[in-house]
Structure 1
């Protein structure tokens, strides 16, 4: 993955200016662009302007995609195709917040925070806000993960020791947040694994 001449010149200019944050954004943008172009080449079956028998479609320009990263916002140009669609696996489609904000939204939901307060929390963390439907979509994923964890089989190992404890937590019950006792069971195998 070689960088094109203009991308290298931008990196050199940022390095000369001494702006470390801008240098990181430029380097990240160039790297992401090179990865997207390589994936597009593999998807299409040919390089740009290359004639090939393995080509399954043609490029049809680019569209800009703003990607929010920890280094700042970067713009990546995503190639369009004439037939079918292409979206790089590197970027999740329709993903508006990154993984850290995802975790914050999930934790807030678990603790019973309202969707309006979650939106305020995301804005306070430097995000652009989050809609109620986005919070619901994220939390539906969380509900699926919790259900899978709760229904996993426990009969794969023997647990000769089981420790029980209880604590009170805020929980969402019938669209209300109430205090409920939660029993925590810790099973320990014969070789000492929990």
Structure 2
């Protein structure tokens, strides 16, 4: 899990913007319930089409840059959603 300071650092590094820890906390608090509800929603019993993919990204951790895989799975329901 990313800390508020981690998010602040990433936003500065990637977008060149400074965001206060208070703003980051406000935003994450505002979406936290929606994220938890989405993560715990019931899944369909059948997904006739499933797409699987991965992308490798470089991640800095413990003063080292390592490769990590980000996996993605997308299931299409019988209704096409």
Q: Normalising to structure 2: TM-score of the pair?
A: 0.52
Distance 2:17 2:78 in 1: 44
SS at match of 1:114: helix
Q: CA deviation at 1:115?
A: 7.1
Distance 2:51 2:77 in 1: 12
Q: Which has the larger radius of gyration?
A: 1
Q: Tell me, yes or no, if structure 1 residue 117 matches structure 2 residue 7.
A: no
Q: Tell me, yes or no, if structure 1 residue 137 matches structure 2 residue 30.
A: no
Q: CA deviation at 1:166?
A: 1.0
Structure 2 unmatched runs, 5+? none
SS at match of 1:153: coil
> Which protein has greater RCO, CA pairs closer than 8 Å, 6+ apart?
2
RMSD over equivalenced CA pairs, Å: 3.6
Aligned counterpart, 1:161: 49
Q: Normalising to structure 1: TM-score of the pair?
A: 0.27
Q: CA deviation at 1:142?
A: 3.5
